[in-house]
Amino acid sequence: MLAEPALQVEDGLDRAAQETEVDLYIVGRSKELIIRSGFNIYPPDVEAVINEHPAVTLTAVVGRQVGIEGTVRRPAWFELKAGEGLHELLSFAGGLQAGAAIARLQIDRIVPPEERRPGVDRVLVDVDLRDVLGNRRAVALHDHDRLYVFPVDAERRNRLSITGGVRRPGMLEWREGMTLWQAIERAPCVCSPSPSPSPPPDARPRRSCRPLSTRRR
């Protein structure tokens, strides 16, 4: 780390400055305190004892860790402090992506030892993100929880398909009350070099006025 210049001399066009290099050490984490059986235990003390082993190079005491992946901006594992839950985890992960489905978030959880039953070591917990984001419902997270945010469904519901002797076959937008003739007008017939003008209302086939709701996908 470079400190502010200790000496600076300016004479005409000649300038000289002397800077002092200093070393900055972080000697402890005063806010991270572990209380066991009435004793105060600080992480640096635990790390120092473990680091004395010849096979250990470096250690770090961490707290509750929770992972999140899927359609979030920064999928990763994060350390949560006491009192922090799903809201804070989503903030650490940068929030949801535009393609995130908010109907369901899934938690893959390792059951705490005191709550396990024979053959039940892991469980899945589904959470409605709409309730969490809208009503600020608190969701507690356990150590080593793994969360997954699902993407939205790729299926388009308001569409119909038109094929055959038309210039632009493919998918069209379906609208409430849309008729067959309206769909054909948007993908004109290939029977002439240019699209033919629409026939008068009295000349249109009667079946062309049938709504396309039955063709909806």
pTM for this entry: 0.57
pLDDT of residue 204: 52
- Same domain flag for 141 and 188: no
Other C-beta atoms within 10 Å of 103: how many? 12
pLDDT of residue 149: 95
Locus of tokens 């997954």: 148
117 with 154: CB under 8 angstroms? no
For residue 138, the domain's CATH number is 3.10.560.10
| 178 is a domain residue | yes
Instruction: Spell out the per-residue pLDDT of the chain, length 217, in tens.
Output: 445 555 455 555 455 566 667 777 666 666 667 777 788 888 888 888 898 999 988 888 777 899 999 999 999 999 898 889 999 999 999 999 999 998 889 999 999 888 889 989 999 999 999 888 887 788 989 999 999 999 998 888 888 888 888 888 888 888 888 888 888 888 776 555 555 556 656 655 554 444 444 445 5
Range of the domain at 181: 159-215
- Same domain flag for 166 and 146: no
| 87 is a domain residue | yes
- Tally of domains within the chain: 2
